[in-house]
C-alpha cells in the first residue's frame, strides 16, 4: 500500500497529531487487558510469594496465591493465565515422569484456578525442561535431544493437562511432529475443545535467561537448545514452522521472543492470518523493569509502548509478565 497525498503544504501530516482528540481518532491500533496472557510461576507451599532476583517485581507463588492472583487478573479483564511450575529438584528425573503426574504442581494449580475462576482461560506449558534432570525440553540420549520418544512423552503431558482442565495447551518444546500427535490424542480422548497455542517460531535466545532462573532450570541445563530452537538469523524457516503447525491442528501460533522478532510477527500475520501471539519473554521484561528500577527508563511509558508495538506488528495478543501492571494502568 502506498498512501496517496498532496504535496506540502496541502498535506501537513502534523494536522493529524495536533491534539489528543485527533490522535485518538486516527489511532490505528489499540491495547486493552483483553490482549494479555499472563505467565506466572507456581511453586509448592502455602502463602508463599518468593521474589525472583533476575525479574524485579515477579514472584513464584504457591497455588493458593496463584488462585488469588488469577481472580484479581480476571477482574482486571485479563482473559488468560499461563502456568509455569518451579519443580522441586528432587522430582526431576531422567524419565521426566513428574510431567504427566496428575498431581503435579501445574495440574493442581489448573484445577484450583478453574474451580475459583471458571471463566478464566488456563494455559499450560508442554515441554520436559521443568522435570528433566538434564534441563532440556526433550529426552537426552548420548548427548542428543531425541525427537520421537520425546513426542510420546509430550502427548502424555498434554493429556494430563487437558484432564486437569487446561483450556489452552502451549507446547514450547519445538520437537517435530508434536502438534499432530497432541491433536490426535486430544481428539481420541474426547478433549475436542481444547485449544493448542503452538510455540511455532521459537528461537534459541539469550533472552530466556531470567526464566530459567525462575523455573530453576539454569543450573540443570547442559549445553544449549540450538538443535531444536530456531537460529535467530532465520525468517523463512519461521514461516515453514508456522505453516506446518497450523496444518497439524494448532489453533493459534506464537512467535518467541517478542520485541526483537516483530518482523516475524508481521510476516506470520500477513501470510497466514491465524490468531498470532508474541511472547514478551523474561529477558525483555527484565531489561525494562531493571532499567526502570535504576531510573533510566520511565517504567509505565516504556511498558505500554512495548506492548502496543506487538499490536502494531500484527499480533492479536501478547504473553507478558507486565499483564496485571499494564491492565491496571489501561483501566485507569
Ligand atoms: C521452556 C520454556 C522457556 C520459556 C518458556 N518455556 C525457556 C527455554 O526455552 O529455555 C521462556 C520464557 C521466558 O523467557 O519468559 N520450555
Residue 36: pLDDT band with limits 50, 70, 90: very high
Q: Average of pLDDT values for 188-212?
A: 97
Q: What is the C-alpha separation between 306 and 280, in angstroms, rounded?
A: 9
**Contact residues of ligand 1, CB 6 A cut-off:** 125, 127, 129, 137, 172, 208, 211-212, 225, 281-282
Flag whether pLDDT at 3 surpasses 80. Answer: no
Q: Which three cell numbers stand for residue 222?
A: 547442559
Of 92, 225, 256, 311, catalytic: 256
Dihedrals φ, ψ of 100, to 5°?
-115, 20
DSSP run (H or E) holding 37: strand 36-43
Region 138-164: mean pLDDT is 97
Indicate which residue's Cα is closest to atom 7 of ligand 1: 208
What is the reported pLDDT for 270? 98
**Does the pLDDT value for residue 1 go beyond 90?**
no
For residue 136, give the C-alpha cell. 532440556
CA distances from residue 21 to 15, 24, 29, 215, 308 in whole angstroms, order as listed: 12, 5, 15, 45, 19
Q: What whole-number percentage of the chain has pLDDT above 70?
A: 100
Predicted confidence at residue 17, as pLDDT, reads 98
Q: Are 283 and 205 in contact, with CB atoms under 8 Å apart?
A: yes
Rg of the chain over all Cα atoms, to the nearest angstrom: 20
Residue 64 CA to ligand 1 centre (angstroms): 24
pTM: 0.97
pLDDT at 308 over 90: yes
Mean pLDDT calculated for residue range 287-301? 98
- Overall average pLDDT of the 256-269 stretch: 98
Q: Output DSSP code: residue 34.
A: G
pLDDT in tens, 76-127: 999 999 999 999 999 999 999 999 999 999 999 999 999 999 999 999 999 9
Q: Report whether 217 contacts 172 (CB < 8 A).
A: no
Shortest-distance Cα residue to atom 8 of ligand 1: 208
For the segment 215-236, what is each residue's pLDDT rounded down to a tens digit?
887 777 888 999 999 999 999 9
Q: Is 256 a catalytic residue?
A: yes
Domains located in the chain, CATH noted:
31-330 (3.20.20.70)
The Cα 124–Cα 216 span in angstroms is 17
Ligand 1: centre distance to CA 7 (Å): 49
105-116 vs 148-164: helix crossing angle, rounded to 10: 30
CB 200 within 8 A of CB 227: no
Instruction: Return d(Cα 207, Cα 78) in angstroms, integer.
Output: 24
- Cell numbers standing for residue 327: 491492565
Over the range 91-125, which residues count as b (16 or more CB within 10 Å of their CB) and which as e? bbeeebebbbbeebbbbbbbbbbbeebeebbbbbb
| Active-site residue, selected from the candidate residues 202, 225, 269, 311 | 202
CA of 127 to the centre of ligand 1 (A): 9
Amino acid at each position: 500500500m502506498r498512501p496517496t497525498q498532496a504535496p506540502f503544504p496541502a498535506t501537513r501530516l502534523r494536522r493529524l497529531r495536533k491534539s489528543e482528540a485527533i490522535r485518538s481518532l486516527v489511532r490505528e491500533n489499540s491495547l486493552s487487558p483483553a490482549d494479555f496472557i499472563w505467565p506466572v510461576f507456581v511453586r509448592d507451599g502455602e502463602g508463599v510469594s518468593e521474589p525472583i532476583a533476575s525479574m524485579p517485581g515477579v514472584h513464584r507463588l504457591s497455588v493458593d496465591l496463584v488462585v488469588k492472583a488469577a481472580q484479581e487478573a480476571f477482574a482486571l479483564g485479563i482473559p488468560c493465565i499461563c502456568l509455569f511450575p518451579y519443580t522441586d529438584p528432587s522430582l526431576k528425573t531422567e524419565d521426566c515422569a513428574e510431567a504427566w503426574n496428575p498431581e503435579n504442581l501445574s495440574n493442581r494449580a489448573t484445577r484450583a484456578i478453574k474451580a475459583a475462576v471458571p471463566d478464566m482461560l488456563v494455559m499450560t506449558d508442554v515441554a520436559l525442561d521443568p522435570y528433566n534432570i538434564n534441563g532440556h525440553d526433550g529426552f537426552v540420549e548420548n548427548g542428543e535431544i531425541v525427537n520421537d520418544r520425546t513426542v510420546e512423552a509430550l502427548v502424555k503431558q498434554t493429556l494430563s493437562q487437558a484432564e486437569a482442565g487446561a483450556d489452552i495447551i502451549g507446547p514450547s518444546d519445538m520437537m517435530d511432529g508434536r502438534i499432530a500427535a497432541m491433536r490426535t490424542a486430544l481428539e481420541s480422548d474426547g478433549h475436542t475443545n481444547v485449544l493448542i497455542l503452538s510455540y511455532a517460531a521459537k528461537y534459541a535466545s539469550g533472552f530466556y535467561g531470567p526464566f530459567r532462573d525462575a523455573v530453576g532450570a539454569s543450573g540443570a541445563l547442559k549445553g544449549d537448545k540450538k538443535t531444536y530452537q530456531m537460529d535467530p538469523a532465520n525468517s523463512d524457516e519461521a514461516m515453514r514452522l508456522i505453516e506446518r503447525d497450523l496444518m497439524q491442528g494448532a489453533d493459534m501460533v506464537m512467535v518467541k521472543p517478542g520485541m526483537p522478532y516483530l518482523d516475524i510477527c508481521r510476516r506470520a500475520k500477513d501470510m497466514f492470518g491465524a490468531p498470532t501471539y508474541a511472547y514478551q519473554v523474561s529477558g525483555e521484561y527484565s531489561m525494562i523493569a531493571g532499567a526502570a528500577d535504576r531510573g533510566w527508563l520511565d517504567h509505565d511509558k516504556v511498558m505500554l509502548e512495548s506492548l502496543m508495538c506487538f499490536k502494531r506488528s500484527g499480533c492479536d495478543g501478547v504473553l507478558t509478565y507486565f499483564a496485571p501492571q499494564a491492565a491496571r494502568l489501561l483501566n485507569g
